[in-house]
Amino acid sequence: MKILLVDNGTTLLSKLEKLIPEKEVVVRVDDLNREMSDDFDLVILSGSSKYSVMEDVEKFVQEIDLIKNTQKPLIGICFGFELIVKAFGGSLKRLEVKDKGIQEIEILDKKLSDKPVVSVYESHRWEIEKLPGIFNVLARSKTGPEIIKHKNLPIYGFQFHPENFVDETDGDEVFTRVFSYLNSPTNVGI
């Protein structure tokens, strides 16, 4: 499987590369164009410690275009999750206090985990205000959806960071399960 990893300015890039069970090609968001996804089997959008979807949307026009137009499987992590929501017409709102640290989320789709509640690492300033109706919520927390899946396309979003604190949390296991579904011969997903 050929994987395109879009670096949106994350400080966790090396951890994300370790989490992905196959070799990936890393492209900085500044060098991205929509046609790049044609050469890959899966696109992963990283988090970002530099930007805000709502305040820097003009910087991510190419990435939003890729999200809206690709037929390839796609996974967005934190900032990538927020870009997916924005690309499909959803809205975000700024949290009064940054959501940071290890927290528990409720798993709504049993294919994601054998546990009804898992611990994950959060680090974000935005939450979903309005989720487009074309997404199912697969997991949630006190601040809203934590894992979403497009109803018709193999597009997933993780609000948390599955690549961080992998020894203390379950986020990496949930990510690996989704990755495995996307890497299956039928590519049907969860």
Whether 163 is a known active-site residue: answer yes
Q: Are 63 and 27 in contact (CB under 8 A)?
A: no
The catalytic position among 78, 122, 127, 150 is 78
The question of whether 124 is a catalytic residue gets the answer no
Do 10 and 16 form a contact (C-beta atoms < 8 A)?
yes
User: Could you give the CA distance from residue 35 to residue 181 in angstroms, rounded to a whole number?
Assistant: 24
| CA-based nearest residue to 100, from 81, 80, 125 | 125
Q: Enumerate the β-bridge partners of residue 137.
A: 148
Classify each residue of 58-74 as buried b or exposed e, where b means 16 or more C-beta atoms within 10 Å of its C-beta. Answer: ebbebbbebbeebebbb
Structural contact between residues 123 and 78, judged by C-beta atoms closer than 8 angstroms? yes
First to last CA, the chain: 18
Of the candidates 63, 122, 146, 163, the residue annotated as catalytic is 163
CB distance 144 to 85 below 8 Å: no
Active site residue 78: yes
Residues annotated as catalytic (active site), given as ranges: 78, 161, 163
